[in-house]
Amino acid sequence: MFNAVEISKDIYWVGVIEWNERYIHGFSMPEGSTNNAYIIKDEKTVLVDTCVDGYSDELIARISDVVEISSIDYIISNHSEKDHAGALGKILELAPNATIVTSDPKGLRILQRYYGEDLRFHPVKTGDELDIGKRTLSFVLTPMVHWPDNMVTYSKHDKILFSNDAFGQFFATSKRFDDEVDDRRLFEYAKKYFANIILPYTRQTAKALDTLDGIGIDLIAPSHGVVWRSHVSRIMDLYRTWCDNEPTDSAVVIYSTIYGSTARMATAITEAFMKCNVAVRLYDLDISDISDIMVDCMDAKYIAIGSPTHNATVLPPMGQFLAYFKGLAPKNRIGIPFGSYGWAQSAQNEIASVFSEKGYSMPLDNCVCDWNEDGADAQSLYDAIIEMIEDNG
Ligand code: FEO
């Protein structure tokens, strides 16, 4: 029932489709996700990555569609996060003679912590090769894309890069290739994935892209989403652009509100950007998704974040957003903290300290109003934002 799909001669997708998963660590996946794994049939049988433990039955069934699991010689663990290594224990019970290929030393350490030190490990570093018959697989360590242990596996024979988290997209689909799905959604999901997974590690990702430059890639087989075959250059170029961390002339305004004062301030800020022809998006955290917002933050030159002061801090939705934003925030932006307060500006100071921690400039240092915002406050804020845009244009 669970079929494998041949993506290149003797190389099969054997992953799992998480049709009904919707969230992973704050990242919303409105159309689910996939955890991809691959079988390479050569003189040796190789499994590239596994999946989350809860989907191991599906993985085992798909592998069994093309090989006897007990015949697996090598399991390449490109990344030990549990969405790729969670089913490793169950696979090893069925393939007791398999050797685990993992990065040296980070992947080795993590997998030994998960599964014990008595397993057969083959730790590898960048440039190491593994002869499996017609093919020689080579490895490139790509630390922090997305964990310290990450690596990618390359088959020169097939010109396939098994890229693990890099070039992934979170969406479940019955199709396996980039040219079989809607282009617009594909690239939106790829960008959302970058903004929410890769963005803090652009320096390391750029370095990995440099290492892979010119090796010759016909297929990129990531561990999430579809296989890239028709848009290999385009997605690699986009990754280079996104790694540059250059903002566009755009703004994003994000707020929480209780009685509407901070909302009116947010609207005034938004209107000021519109007046100056700066593309802007406005998000109320009560109804918006934080992982969608991060996509706009990735592009924005100006990031305005506002909350009223409530119990000497920000409102709960803003607290959640700030925690998420702090971990992912793009570098070198202009921050605009704002909001209303009654008797202490705690919320705005808290937002400003996040901007400060991230090294953002804050040309406007007092975007607050006490008690109830009236039209005059909004007008002053609108004027101040326009002046700031003109000064920073
Ligand atoms: Fe898809 Fe970092 O795991």
Q: Which of 84, 224, 231, 310 is catalytic?
A: 224
Element (H, E) at 116: none
pLDDT above 90 as % of the chain: 95
If you write DSSP's letter for every residue of 24-92 in order, what string do you get?
ETTEE-TT-EEE--EEEESSSEEEE----GGGHHHHHHHHHTTS-GGG--EEE-S--SHHHHTTHHHHH
Q: Which of 12, 55, 79, 157 is catalytic?
A: 79
List b or e across 257-271, with b for residues whose CB sees 16 or more CB atoms inside 10 angstroms. Answer: beeebbbbbbbbbbb
If you write DSSP's letter for every residue of 231-279 in order, what string do you get?
SHHHHHHHHHHHHHTPPEEEEEEEE--SSSHHHHHHHHHHHHHHHTT-E
| φ/ψ bin of 133: left (φ > 0), alpha (ψ from -120 to 50), beta (otherwise) | left
Ligand 1 pocket by Cβ (under 6 Å):
79, 81, 83-84, 146-147, 165, 223-224
Is 341 a catalytic site residue? Answer: no
List b or e across 171-184, with b for residues whose CB sees 16 or more CB atoms inside 10 angstroms. Answer: bbbeebbbeebeee
Q: What is the Cα 235 distance to its own chain's centre?
A: 14
Closest atom of ligand 1 to CA, residue 223: 1
Per residue in 301-353, pLDDT tens?
Answer: 999 999 999 999 999 999 999 999 999 999 999 999 999 999 999 999 999 99
Q: Which protein residue has the closest C-alpha to ligand 1 atom 1? A: 165
- SS3 label, residue 191: helix
Residues 6+ apart with CB under 8 A from 229: 177, 178, 179, 218, 219
- Per residue, the 3-state secondary structure of 290-327, as one string, reads HHHHHHHHHHEEEEEEECCCECCECCHHHHHHHHHHHH
Per residue in 19-73, pLDDT tens?
Answer: 999 998 889 999 999 999 999 999 999 999 999 999 999 999 999 999 999 999 9
Tell me if 185 sits within 8 A of 14, measured CB to CB. Answer: no
pTM to 2 decimal places:
0.96
Per residue in 145-198, pLDDT tens?
Answer: 999 999 999 999 999 999 999 999 999 999 999 999 999 999 999 999 999 999
Is 146 a catalytic site residue? Answer: yes
Closest atom of ligand 1 to CA, residue 146: 2
Distance, CA of 34 to CA of 170 (rounded, Å): 7
Per 3-state DSSP, the chain is made up of helix, strand and coil in percentages (nearest 5) of 40, 25, 35
pLDDT band at 256 (very low <50, low <70, confident <90, very high): very high
Tell me the mean pLDDT in the region 87-114.
97
- The predicted pLDDT at position 373 comes to 78
CA of 106 to the centre of ligand 1 (A): 15
Please give the torsion angle defined by the CA atoms of residues 55, 27, 4 and 11, in that order, rounded to the nearest 10 degrees. Answer: -120
CA of 65 to the centre of ligand 1 (A): 25
Q: Which protein residue has the closest C-alpha to ligand 1 atom 3? A: 81
Is 310 a catalytic site residue? Answer: no
Per residue in 263-297, pLDDT tens?
Answer: 999 999 999 999 999 999 999 999 999 999 999 99
Would you say residue 261 has pLDDT above 90? yes
Closest atom of ligand 1 to CA, residue 35: 1
The average confidence (pLDDT) of the chain is: 96
Distance, CA of 31 to CA of 212 (rounded, Å): 31
CA of 102 to the centre of ligand 1 (A): 15
- SS3 label, residue 18: strand
Distance, CA of 305 to CA of 118 (rounded, Å): 51
In Å, how far are 17, 86, 89 from 54, measured between CA atoms? Answer: 12, 8, 12
